[in-house]
Structure 1
Amino acid sequence: MADSVPLLINGNGDGGNGKSERPKEPWRGEFVKSIVYAGLDAIITSFSLISSISAGRLSSVDVLVLGFANLVADGISMGFGDFMSSSTEKDVAAKERCVTKWDVENQRGAQQEHLLHRYQELGMDAADAATVVSVFNKYPDILADEKMGREVGAEEQSEKPWKNGLITFVAFQVFGCAPILAFIVLIPFTDNDQIKFIGACVLSALALALLGIAKAKFAGQNYAASVGITLFNGAVAGAAAYGIGWTLRNVAGLDE
């Protein structure tokens, strides 16, 4: 603990040596995972569908009907899946904590011994480890959390699974609309489906770049690398879908 004193006094995180800069903290958010995962999946799913339809030379009406139908159906599926996943994770965590708390209350000696060995394996001095465990022994709830190897209150992070499901659904709809919007926005300007498809490619790329920037901001990652990865992911998926659509129409002979 004494080592932390000069850090607090200097306030620059380098102990006064000036050798390193304090890393930037990532944005904290309860629903970051749901937004990033749903947004990425939505953009790639919609763009891949549009790519395959465009390669098959179907009309803009087909793109809009199939695109929006797929967007809503997939959004509902993903939102419900996130709700079920978060709900199950919460139930499992509560059950695990219940079992661990029983162990702490009824097998206190064995649990203390387990923590003692764990701290020593992490490099803590035997005497210090014994001191820490003896302090935790006064607080059964904290001892149970420590025995589970997680922060106190971690089981409350997914307190309302329905929020995760709702956020996933909304994020899927918002990001998934980007590729389809080109076919709506360009209606007054052109009837050429190829131009509309190019517009969809541009909007999809912008949405993926925006998501990549948000992901980098949330996780404290490099912006260029994050944007590059998301764009590459979308490009590969879209190219694969376009290639399959073109192959089925022109090689397999599925003209109509």
Structure 2
Amino acid sequence: MEIELNDSKHTRNSWMERFETYLPEVVYGSIDGIVTTFAVVAGAAGAELQINIILILGMANLFADGLSMSIGSYLSNKSERDNYQKHLHIEEWEIENMPDDERKEIEMIYRQKGFEGKELEMVVNRITSNKKVWLDTMMKDELGLSEQKKSPLKAGLSTLVAFITAGAIPLAAYILAYAGKYQIDPFILSSLVTVFAFILIGYIKTYVTQIGLLRSILETLLLGAAAAMAAYFLGDYLEKLLV
């Protein structure tokens, strides 16, 4: 029974570690999704467009921007991984073919960190006696590169799912209004649920940015409010100008 509990605990920890790895993509995908979609809703409301038009614009924006952002996330993570692998192969070749020069670089790195004499020699010998440690040291301390642990595909998918999920929240009120479920002004309802969503996203964002909870929530709310107000008044102005 104890083994089963340990296995269960290990499974949960493993799942949480995988989730935390892609938490930045989830958070920033959610913020981008809800901000851009609510801006579309606010602009359309300012222009006093019909509900079906708002839904068409919102849905089109939701999926087009979601795909664009997820592709950008995929390419960014893939480029970072490819860049690391390229320099890793270069360092491997240099260690194999120019070990003395690479050893001198290790000496220089650790001398700059304050190591001297026998202490420096001991550290250099220990590092250069293990090829993996030697490579890791060159990559981190000489080039400032760390191995990319994220899967570019999973990073892109995490961004897409978060963008569409959060971005659909401002549209939910209009879907209900279109179906005739509620008589309340859909823009007011959309604004209320979006505020609650911003608060939740701001709370989750603290685990990525490590800043205070109140500051994180206020930043997220102000960002969304600024985008929505600009879109609303622009929509209102253009409606009066063009119609």
Q: TM-score, normalised by structure 2?
A: 0.84
**8 Å contact 2:24–2:208 — kept in the other structure?**
no
Structure 1 segments, 4+ long, off by >3 Å, are 123-127
Determine if the alignment matches structure 1 residue 155 to structure 2 residue 162.
no
Tell me which protein shows more helix as a share of its residues: 2
SS in 2 for 1:149: helix
Measure, in 2, the Cα distance between the counterparts of 1:239 and 1:127: 66
Query: Which string of whole-angstrom CA distances, capped at 9 and with x for unpartnered residues, describes residues 47-97 of structure 1?
Result: 111111111110111111111111111112222222222222211111111
Structure number with the bigger relative contact order (C-alpha 8 A, sep ≥ 6) is 2
| Counterpart-to-counterpart distance in 2, 1:156 and 1:56 | 46
TM, length-normalised to structure 1: 0.80
* C-alpha distance after superposition, 1:166-186 (max 9, x if no partner): 111111111101111111234
**Deviation at residue 125 of structure 1 after TM alignment:** 4.3
- Consecutive unaligned residues of structure 2, counting only runs of 5 or more, are 1-16
Alpha-carbon distance between aligned partners in 2 of 1:98 and 1:74, rounded to the nearest angstrom:
36
1:19-168 aligned within 5 A: 29-149=20-140, 154-158=146-150, 160-168=151-159
Equivalent in the alignment of 1:16: none
Match of 1:249 among 208, 231, 239: 239
**Counterparts of 2:93 and 2:31, CA distance in 1:** 42
The amino acid of 1:220's aligned partner reads Q
2:194 is equivalent to residue 204 of structure 1: yes
Range moving further from structure 2, 71-80 or 106-115: 106-115
Question: What amino acid sits opposite 1:200 in the alignment?
Answer: S
Once the 2 structures are TM-superposed, how far is the Cα of residue 27 of structure 1 from its aligned partner? 10
Q: Offset at 1:28?
A: 7.5
1:189 corresponding residue in structure 2: 182
- Segments of 5+ residues of structure 1 without an aligned counterpart are 1-25
Compared CA separation, residues 29 and 128, structure 1 to 2 (3 A): farther
CA distance in 2 between partners of 1:58 and 1:78 (Å): 27
CA distance in 2, matches of 1:222, 1:235: 20
1:29 is paired with a residue whose SS is helix
1:234 — aligned with what? 224
Q: 1:119 deviation in Å?
A: 2.2
Q: Measured at CA, do residues 215 and 124 of structure 1 come closer, stay the same or move farther in structure 2, by a change above 3 Å?
A: farther
CA RMSD of aligned residues (A): 2.2
